[in-house]
Structure 1
Amino acid sequence: MAKRIQISQHGGPEVMQWVEVDLPEPQAGEVVVENKAIGINYIDTYVRSGLYPASLPSGLGTEAAGVVKSIGAGVTAVKPGDRVVYAQSALGAYSEFHAVQADKLAILPDSISFELAAASFLKGLTVHYLLCQTYVIQPDEIFLFQAAAGGVGLIACQWAKALGAHLIGTVGSAEKAERAKKAGAWATINYREEDVARRVSELTNGKKVRVVYDSVGQDTWESSLDCLQRRGLMVSFGNSSGPVSGVNLGILTQKGSLYVTRPSLNGYVTTREALIWASNELFSMISSGAIKVDVPEQQKFALKDAQQAHKTLESRGTQGSSLLIP
Structure 2
Amino acid sequence: MTDQIIWLNAPGDVTQFHVEEHHPSEAPGNGELKIRHQAIGTNFLDVYHRKGIYPMPSYPAVIGAEAAGIVEDVGPGVSLFQKGDRVAYGGPPVGAYRSTRNIAAERAIKLPDAVSAKTAASSLLKGMTAYMLLKKTYNVRAGTQVLIHAAAGGLGSILVRWARSLDATVIGTVGSAEKAELAASYGADHLIVGRGADIVADVKRLTNGLGVDVAYDGIGGDTLLKSIRSVRPFGMAVTIGQAAGAIPPVPVEELRPGKALCHPSIMAWCADIGQYREAALAAVGAMETGIVSQIGAEYRLADVAKAHEEMESGRSAGSILLIP
SS at 2:4's partner residue? strand
* Partner of residue 201 from structure 1, selected from 189, 199, 204: 204
Kept in 1: contact 2:91–2:271 (CA 8 A):
no
- Residues 99 and 219 (structure 1 numbering): CA distance in 2 closer, same or farther, change over 3 Å? farther
The 2-side partners of 1:209 and 1:294 are apart by: 26
Kept in 2: contact 1:144–1:167 (CA 8 A):
yes
Q: Which residue in the other structure is 2:301 paired with?
A: 303
Q: 1:79 Cα shift?
A: 2.2
* Partner of residue 322 from structure 2, selected from 311, 321, 324: 324
Q: 1:249 Cα shift?
A: 3.0
Kept in 1: contact 2:39–2:321 (CA 8 A):
yes
Q: How does 1:1-326 map to 2 (within 5 A)?
A: 1-19=2-20, 20-54=22-56, 55-253=58-256, 256-289=257-290, 291-296=291-296, 299-326=297-324
The 1-side partners of 2:222 and 2:19 are apart by: 33
Kept in 2: contact 1:106–1:275 (CA 8 A):
no
SS at 1:218's partner residue? coil
The 2-side partners of 1:242 and 1:92 are apart by: 25
SS at 2:48's partner residue? helix
SS at 2:197's partner residue? coil
Q: 1:270 Cα shift?
A: 4.3
Q: Name which of structure 1's ranges 18-27 and 133-142 shifts more when overlaid on structure 2.
A: 18-27
Q: Name which of structure 1's ranges 222-231 and 19-28 shifts more when overlaid on structure 2.
A: 19-28
Q: 1:74 Cα shift?
A: 2.3
Q: 1:191 Cα shift?
A: 4.0
Q: 1:167 Cα shift?
A: 0.9
Kept in 2: contact 1:27–1:72 (CA 8 A):
yes
Q: Name which of structure 1's ranges 26-35 and 134-143 shifts more when overlaid on structure 2.
A: 26-35
The 1-side partners of 2:234 and 2:143 are apart by: 20
SS at 1:285's partner residue? helix
Kept in 2: contact 1:211–1:235 (CA 8 A):
yes
The 1-side partners of 2:243 and 2:203 are apart by: 22
The 1-side partners of 2:34 and 2:207 are apart by: 50
- Tell me how many residue pairs correspond in the alignment: 321
| Long gaps (5+) in structure 1 | none
Among the aligned pairs, what percent are the same residue? Answer: 36
| Long gaps (5+) in structure 2 | none
TM superposition score normalised by structure 2 = 0.94
SS at 1:317's partner residue? coil
Kept in 2: contact 1:200–1:208 (CA 8 A):
yes
Q: 1:78 Cα shift?
A: 2.0
* Letter of the 1:322 counterpart: I
The 1-side partners of 2:233 and 2:110 are apart by: 43
Kept in 1: contact 2:215–2:238 (CA 8 A):
yes
| Structure 1 vs Structure 2 CA RMSD | 1.6
* Letter of the 1:12 counterpart: D
Q: 1:267 Cα shift?
A: 3.6
* Letter of the 1:278 counterpart: A
CA-to-partner distance for each residue in 1:66-91, whole Å, 9 max, x for gaps? 11122333223322221110012422
Q: 1:147 Cα shift?
A: 1.2
CA-to-partner distance for each residue in 1:228-251, whole Å, 9 max, x for gaps? 111221111111112325344343
The 2-side partners of 1:139 and 1:267 are apart by: 28
TM superposition score normalised by structure 1 = 0.93
The 2-side partners of 1:28 and 1:249 are apart by: 50
Q: 1:98 Cα shift?
A: 1.1
Q: 1:152 Cα shift?
A: 0.3
The 2-side partners of 1:37 and 1:171 are apart by: 27
Kept in 2: contact 1:213–1:235 (CA 8 A):
yes
SS at 1:128's partner residue? helix
Q: Name which of structure 1's ranges 225-234 and 237-246 shifts more when overlaid on structure 2.
A: 237-246
Q: 1:25 Cα shift?
A: 2.9
The 2-side partners of 1:67 and 1:245 are apart by: 44
Q: 1:143 Cα shift?
A: 1.3
CA-to-partner distance for each residue in 1:262-292, whole Å, 9 max, x for gaps? 1111343344443343333323322233x24
Kept in 1: contact 2:174–2:194 (CA 8 A):
yes
